[in-house]
């Protein structure tokens, strides 16, 4: 049980303040409404111990707000609005509980804008990095339809799925990256610390050394004598690569490679299809106009090729054509998906159809990630074993050869 400070208006019109104990803000609001009071504001009380703990949490939680903060904010706001707390009081209560100082300022800024007469959707447009165009447009549609709390639930579900998808993709890349890094570190260690110990053994016997040993000895000497130049070269290549990828042309090349590389192309295709159709379905079900829906879908798709495809659909629909018409001329969506979209248009249930397709590709994405991880792990282990084995054999073989000559 926690204590909450409240301000209510009684049935006689008098304003009252006090403290109530409840499991949550929503429970506290329900208790007060059952007493016949109209809730004006409600916020948790903070003691000395809680304040000190919050200070420590603020220090640990430094940095920019993330989508996880937006998800928590949206979920809490939906619960409080559904509990009958007005928007201004809900924002104030959430700000009181928020431990991230920068995000707290953002919420209080939104509260100030709402108090000045702005709509919530208008107030959050100042923070486009946190609140995407999908978030803003779905909230705007709910403000017109009067389903604010329900729409916030749907937005929170969408954000939660996006966070889960991102975690899955990152998780699939962590293990191969670790194996690759280990392979590079082990190779450098063998070339710079282990192989130089054999220089004296092999000195003067270059004629009987295998080509692999000669090659590795030359490479080892180059690493040991020129490591500053090598580090500078690697830094330069990485910096240039990063700069090229940041350009529009480099970004196009990377996005195209994601859809053509044999091992990962199906995983990325499932990711972009799921993200695009989920976004589109959410916006259509929220009542957002079709042209706005297509424009937002293209920007959120996450790949330049898919963004161009959706922009083409936008231009086609603007001219009065159906969505499925331009999609039938692209190879970025499977033919079956285009046919289902066409059927959804004809039946007037496009939003439901898109939700079902996106759910299917969400499951496909999970399966693809598992498959990619299962394929990459043995490949990376084989590559690492081959490198280490090649170096070991290049060292051991000449020793055996020299021992046989001595005999």
In Å, how far are 116, 183, 186, 221, 222 from 229, measured between CA atoms? 60, 21, 20, 13, 10
Instruction: Assess if residue 149 is contained within a domain.
Output: no
Q: Give this prediction's pTM.
A: 0.70
pLDDT at residue 282, rounded to an integer? 86
Last residue of a domain, one of 81, 111, 131: 131
Last residue of a domain, one of 131, 154, 185: 131
pLDDT digit string, tens, across residues 322-358: 898 899 888 899 999 999 999 998 888 898 999 899 8
Instruction: Assess if residue 86 is contained within a domain.
Output: yes
**What percent of the chain lies above the pLDDT cut of 90?**
14
Q: Do residue 240 and residue 344 come from a single domain?
A: yes
DSSP string, 307-357: HHHHHHHHHHHHTT--THHHHTT-SSS-HHHHHHHHHHHHHT-HHHHHHHH
Q: Do residue 226 and residue 318 come from a single domain?
A: yes
pLDDT band at residue 60 using 50, 70 and 90 as cut-offs: low
Last residue of a domain, one of 131, 149, 179: 131
Could you tell me the CATH number of the domain that includes residue 72?
A: 1.20.81.30
Q: Do residue 93 and residue 224 come from a single domain?
A: no
Helices 87-97, 67-82: axis angle to 10 degrees equals 140
Number of domains making up the chain: 2
Q: Do residue 311 and residue 191 come from a single domain?
A: yes
Cα–Cα distance for residue pair 369/326, rounded to 1 Å? 30
pLDDT at residue 309, rounded to an integer? 93
The boundaries of the domain holding residue 117 are 48-131
Q: Do residue 124 and residue 271 come from a single domain?
A: no
Span 135-159, average pLDDT? 84
pLDDT digit string, tens, across residues 291-310: 988 988 888 888 899 999 99
pLDDT digit string, tens, across residues 102-119: 888 899 999 888 888 888
Instruction: Assess if residue 326 is contained within a domain.
Output: yes
Q: Do residue 84 and residue 203 come from a single domain?
A: no
Instruction: Assess if residue 42 is contained within a domain.
Output: no
Instruction: Assess if residue 179 is contained within a domain.
Output: yes
For tokens 């969408």, name the residue.
158
In terms of residues, how long is the chain? 407
Q: Do residue 93 and residue 173 come from a single domain?
A: no
Helices 67-82, 25-34: axis angle to 10 degrees equals 10
Instruction: Assess if residue 239 is contained within a domain.
Output: yes
pLDDT digit string, tens, across residues 213-263: 888 888 888 888 888 898 899 899 999 988 988 888 888 999 999 999 887
Q: Do residue 215 and residue 258 come from a single domain?
A: yes
Q: Do residue 170 and residue 237 come from a single domain?
A: yes
Instruction: Assess if residue 310 is contained within a domain.
Output: yes
Cα–Cα distance for residue pair 37/7, rounded to 1 Å? 10
pLDDT digit string, tens, across residues 43-55: 776 543 444 444 5
Instruction: Assess if residue 142 is contained within a domain.
Output: no
Lowest mean pLDDT among 1-5, 176-180, 222-226: 1-5
Q: Do residue 290 and residue 174 come from a single domain?
A: yes
Q: Do residue 216 and residue 283 come from a single domain?
A: yes
In Å, how far are 27, 78, 305, 327, 345 from 258, measured between CA atoms? 49, 37, 11, 20, 30
Q: Do residue 127 and residue 168 come from a single domain?
A: no
């Amino acid at each position: 049980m926690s204590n909450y400070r409240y301000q209510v208006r009684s049935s006689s019109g008098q304003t009252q303040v006090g403290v109530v104990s409840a499991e949550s803000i929503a429970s506290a609001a329900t208790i007060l409404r059952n007493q016949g009071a109209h809730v004006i504001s409600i916020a948790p009380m903070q003691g000395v111990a809680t304040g000190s703990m919050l200070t420590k949490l603020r220090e640990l939680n430094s940095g920019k707000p993330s989508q996880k903060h937006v998800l928590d904010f949206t979920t809490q706001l939906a619960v409080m609005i559904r509990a009958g707390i007005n928007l201004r009081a809900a924002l104030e209560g959430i700000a009181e509980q928020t431990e991230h100082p920068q995000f707290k300022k953002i919420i209080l800024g939104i509260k100030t804008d709402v108090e000045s007469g702005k709509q919530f959707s208008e107030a959050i447009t100042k923070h486009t990095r946190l609140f995407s165009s999908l978030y803003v447009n779905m909230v705007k549609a709910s403000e017109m339809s009067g389903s604010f709390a329900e729409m916030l639930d749907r937005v929170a579900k969408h954000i939660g799925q996006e966070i889960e998808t991102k975690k899955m993709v990152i998780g699939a890349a962590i293990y191969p990256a670790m194996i690759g890094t280990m392979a590079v570190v082990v190779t450098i260690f063998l070339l710079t610390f282990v192989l130089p110990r054999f220089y004296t053994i092999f000195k003067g016997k270059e004629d009987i050394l295998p080509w692999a040993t000669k090659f590795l000895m030359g490479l080892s000497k180059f690493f040991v004598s020129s490591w500053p130049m090598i580090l500078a070269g690697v830094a330069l290549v990485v910096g240039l690569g990063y700069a090229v990828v940041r350009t529009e042309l480099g970004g196009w090349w990377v996005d195209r490679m994601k859809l053509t590389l044999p091992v990962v192309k199906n995983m990325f295709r499932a990711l972009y299809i799921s993200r695009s159709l989920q976004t589109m379905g959410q916006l259509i079900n929220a009542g957002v106009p079709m042209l706005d829906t297509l424009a937002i879908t293209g920007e959120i798709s996450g790949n330049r090729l898919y963004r161009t495809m959706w922009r083409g659909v936008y231009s086609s629909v603007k001219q009065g054509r159906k969505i499925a018409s331009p999609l039938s001329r692209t190879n970025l969506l499977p033919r079956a998906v285009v046919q289902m979209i066409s059927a959804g248009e004809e039946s007037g249930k496009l939003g439901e159809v898109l939700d079902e397709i996106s759910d299917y590709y969400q499951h496909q994405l999970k399966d693809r990630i598992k498959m990619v991880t299962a394929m990459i792990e043995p490949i990376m282990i084989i590559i690492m074993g081959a490198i280490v084995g090649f170096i070991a054999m290049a060292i051991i073989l000449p020793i055996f050869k020299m021992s046989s000559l001595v005999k």
